[in-house]
Amino acid sequence: MKAKPVLLAAIVVASISVGGAYYLQATVKESIIVSTTTSLYETGVLDVLKERFEAQNRGVNVSFISQGTGLAIQTAMRGDADLILVHDPARELKFLQDGYGVNRKVIAYNFFIIVGPSEDPGGIKGLPPLDALRKIDSSAQRGGVVWVSRGDDSGTHTKEKQLWKAARLNLTDIRTGSWYLEAGSGMTATLKLANEKRGYTLTDMGTYLMNLKNGNIDLVMLVSAGKELLNVYSVIACNPQNVNLTKVRFDGAMRFITFLASDEGQTVLAEFGKEQYGQTLFYPYVKVLKDGSDPEKVGWIQELAYFDGTECPPEYRYKAGDLY
């Protein structure tokens, strides 16, 4: 008779152990890591996308690593991320060609702008982008003008270098001038430095509006919109067929990419910023493409960010489902 309590206790312990193991198994989530740009992360839009995605996909947890595009891609190439969300088409193509990425999807766009002090010492307000850069360069020769570059190998930095080249100005020579400063940091830090130095800089619209509203800067928008300042965001899954990336969580990455391209994901992008800033910070490309609401912008995007007429050539697609 005395052995029964011991037996009962053993059964209870075993039941707790089995139940506990089941509970742990049921609550363990798959974690995916997105290597992305500061211009997306600092605006807060990724937090909203994460919340909405995880509400639908309770078995998946999304984390972000925020860096310039160059570093974001390097992180993924090391196998430390499951997908990238960036804005540098030339580098994105190389990421695909080198076997690191698959299933590229263009999801959003906005425009870079040139901002500066309200006194506008270079007199660039309202000029076309390339004319504005030429004016800044010529004004710098007389003194009193400062330009602050990201200088961090980011997508914004790449765009800046492309603009100087398109304006037929030698960036190698420009960089030797005392008026040309390199922050070597993210967009918020660059804007703060430009504000401190009363200089000009190239920025994405979203990060500018956020910092302006938060009182970090009082720089004003001087040059905006135009085809030359188009900024296109794309998402790419890391390639699980790459021998160096066999541990990437491909299924989770594809679920997130599919969500970003879905009606709900595109609506989040379209609505983000309207209440706080009075305008959207990111235009939803998939939605605009489907409804045909802005064929001119679609044409610009496809000219800048498509490869051989497609956002992702067939040879770089893998288990893409209905993505295309």
7 vs 320, residue with greater confidence: 320
Mean pLDDT of 269-282: 93
| Residues 81-107 pLDDT 10s | 999 999 999 999 999 999 999 999 999
Using DSSP's 3-state secondary structure scheme, residue 85 falls into strand
**Interior angle at CA 231, CA 249 and CA 43, nearest 5:** 65
Residues 6+ apart with CB under 8 A from 239: 99, 100, 101, 102, 245, 248, 318
Mean pLDDT of 180-206: 95
Sign of the alpha-carbon dihedral angle for 279, 284, 289, 290: negative
- In order of their start, the domains of the chain are 29-110+231-316 (3.40.190.10), 112-229 (3.40.190.10)
DSSP character at residue 106: E
- Give the number of other CB atoms < 10 A from CB of residue 306: 15
Whole-angstrom Cα distance, residue 315 to residue 18?
Answer: 47
| Residues 26-85 pLDDT 10s | 456 789 999 999 888 889 999 999 999 999 999 999 999 999 899 999 999 999 999 999
Mean pLDDT of 302-314: 97
| pLDDT at residue 204 is higher than 50 | yes
| pLDDT at residue 235 is higher than 90 | yes
Residues of the chain above pLDDT 90, percent: 83
pLDDT of residue 26: 44
Whole-angstrom Cα distance, residue 118 to residue 140?
Answer: 17
**Interior angle at CA 129, CA 126 and CA 135, nearest 5:** 80
pLDDT of residue 20: 47
CA separation (Å) from 64 to 17, 42, 88, 237? 35, 11, 18, 14
SS3 content of the chain, % helix, strand, coil (to 5): 50, 20, 30
For residues 271 and 280, is the Cβ–Cβ distance under 8 A?
yes
pLDDT of residue 13: 42
Sign of the alpha-carbon dihedral angle for 47, 201, 111, 67: negative
Mean pLDDT of 233-250: 96
pLDDT of residue 321: 94
Report the helix count and the strand count for the chain, using DSSP H and E: 15, 10
Whole-angstrom Cα distance, residue 122 to residue 26?
Answer: 62
| Residues 117-134 pLDDT 10s | 999 999 999 999 999 999
Mean pLDDT of 156-179: 95
Of 4-8, 144-148, 151-155, give the lowest mean pLDDT range: 4-8
Residues 6+ apart with CB under 8 A from 132: 114, 122, 124, 222, 223
Dihedrals φ, ψ of 64, to 5°?
-120, 140
pLDDT, mean over the chain = 91
| Residues 279-301 pLDDT 10s | 999 999 999 999 999 999 999 99
pLDDT of residue 42: 87
| pLDDT at residue 23 is higher than 90 | no
Radius of gyration of the chain (CA): 24
Strands 30-37 and 60-67: parallel
pLDDT of residue 5: 47
For residues 57 and 255, is the Cβ–Cβ distance under 8 A?
yes
pTM attached to this predicted model: 0.87
| pLDDT at residue 239 is higher than 50 | yes
